[in-house]
Amino acid sequence: MTKRIFIQSAIALLAATTLLPTQAQDKPLKIGVTAGPHAQIFEQVKKLAEKDGLKIQIVEFSDYVQPNAALAAGDLDANSYQHKPYLDQQVKDRGYKIVPVGYTVNFPIGLYSKKVKTLGELKEGAKFGIPNDPTNGGRVLLVLQDQHLIKLKPEAGLKATPLDVVENPKKLKFVELDAAQLARSLDDLDAAAVNTNYALSAGLQPNRDAIAQESAKSPYVNLIAVREQDKDKPWVAKLVRAYQSEEIRKFVQTEFKGAVLAGF
């Protein structure tokens, strides 16, 4: 009887030690992305990561809210679709314990004009179109500050408005419009800032038509995010390493021709 119990226990232990590692190895990492460039890029990342022993399942979303909710709930292992200002606001509003672990790409806002070829050619009092929403409006004002056209109050931050402009040598007149309207309003403006998605829809190519662009290292670089409890796990480092590789940098440059920039 004792011998039988011993054999049964040994078999059970052998089964447990044999099956558990196999199950862990076979389970792919679920990575949430939004459709479009983020999904396209991660298809390439998936191929590289597999060479490093990571199996990845890409899960596409059609909105910006669900990928963080799914990650926080444990339905995803990571996501790749948002920039830090957005993540910071989500964490503040919803209490998510989600953290960034590596930068990915940037969709830079471009400055466009049908009347001048450089920002330096803008005349005093020129009409400059900017988005009328706080996030994109402030983003454009920071670009203009980087281009030395204006200076903002130091405390203005990422949600700066025209009221935060303290120096404006060219006396630019800011025309606030819905972001989707700016490309179509270029005939009536001296220049305007246009989000990349709307620029492409209007037939504008950022690397060809923009007279200036947001830096690839701006605060709006997108990132890979994971649950705080997972940030130091080995697979996270492998995932980030695969994304921030020279192969992915070249893919982004070739595939998107300046509309999307590597931010790492």
Q: Can you spell out the DSSP letters for 11-29?
A: HHHHHHHHHHHHHHHHSPE
Q: Domain limits of the chain?
A: 2-107+219-262, 110-213
CATH architecture of 110-213: 3-Layer(aba) Sandwich (3.40)
What is the number of other CB atoms lying within 10 angstroms of the CB of residue 158? 17
pLDDT of residue 24: 42
CB–CB of 187/141 below 8 Å?
Answer: no
Mean pLDDT confidence for 179-203:
91
**pLDDT higher than 60, residue 37:** yes
Question: Quick one: 210 exposed, middle or buried, by C-beta within 10 A (0-12, 13-18, 19+)?
Answer: buried
Q: Nearest 5°: phi and psi at 260?
A: -130, 135
Buried b (16+ CB within 10 A) or exposed e, 219-250: ebbbbbbbbeeeeeeebbebbbebbbbeebee
- What is 2-107+219-262's CATH number? 3.40.190.10
36 φψ region: left (φ > 0), alpha (ψ -120 to 50), beta (else): left
- Comparing 110-119, 121-130, 202-211, 232-241, the range with the smallest average pLDDT is 202-211
The yes-or-no answer to whether 2-107+219-262 and 110-213 have a common fold is yes
